[in-house]
């Protein structure tokens, strides 16, 4: 239960994304912290890992919605996907779809911190699919989209 609450703070339920879900706020972090503190039957190593993830979430929340938030998360896509979607920080001013390293499409940024980029049938079997985030003309983040082969 405590582990699930901590993982639920992050995009794809995974702290290694280093991106918070759009719904994660201080209340969600505080609730997860309470569950970690009350957890029984967990090893100290597991408790320490959960606590480290909470500290990570608090740090990410501090920079969220600031011009320094260059977080970027890309949802999985495959050759049947019509768009790649994801989450981006306020410091990102544009996103682009890259297929095998070449820019193929520009994305639409939404006010809630999400984005969408049309794939226009650019994804083919074996393609390396990436999303790049920019601040002005400078690339500040790049993420792989796990491409599922169909």
Break the chain into its structural domains and give their ranges. Answer: 2-63, 72-148
Burial tier of 39 (Cβ tally within 10 Å: 0-12, 13-18, 19+): middle
Q: According to the model, what pLDDT value does residue 149 have?
A: 44
Q: What is the mean pLDDT of residues 125-140?
A: 92
Taking 70 as the threshold, does the pLDDT of residue 114 lie above it? Answer: yes
Sorting pLDDT into bands at 50, 70 and 90, what band is 147? low
- Full DSSP string of 118-136: E-TT---TT--EEEEEEET
Tell me: domain 72-148, CATH 3.50.50.60, correct? no
> What is the average pLDDT score of the chain?
91
C-alpha distance from residue 11 to each of 64, 76, 150 (Å)? 14, 12, 24
Q: According to the model, what pLDDT value does residue 148 have?
A: 47
Q: What is the mean pLDDT of residues 94-111?
A: 94
Sorting pLDDT into bands at 50, 70 and 90, what band is 123? confident
Q: According to the model, what pLDDT value does residue 125 have?
A: 86
Q: According to the model, what pLDDT value does residue 150 have?
A: 40
């Amino acid at each position: 239960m405590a582990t699930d609450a901590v993982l639920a703070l992050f995009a794809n339920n995974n702290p290694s994304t280093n991106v918070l879900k759009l719904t994660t706020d201080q209340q969600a972090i505080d609730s997860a912290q309470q569950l970690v503190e009350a957890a029984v039957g967990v090893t100290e190593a597991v408790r320490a890992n959960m606590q480290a993830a909470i500290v990570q979430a608090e740090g990410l929340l501090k920079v969220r919605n600031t011009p320094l938030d260059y977080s970027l998360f890309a949802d999985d896509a495959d050759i049947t996907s019509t768009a790649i979607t994801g989450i981006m920080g306020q410091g990102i001013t544009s996103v682009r779809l890259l297929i095998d390293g070449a820019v193929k499409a520009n994305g639409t940024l939404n006010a809630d911190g999400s984005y969408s980029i049309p794939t226009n049938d650019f994804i083919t079997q074996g393609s390396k699919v990436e999303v790049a985030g920019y601040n002005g003309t400078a690339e500040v983040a790049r993420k792989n989209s796990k491409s599922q082969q169909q």
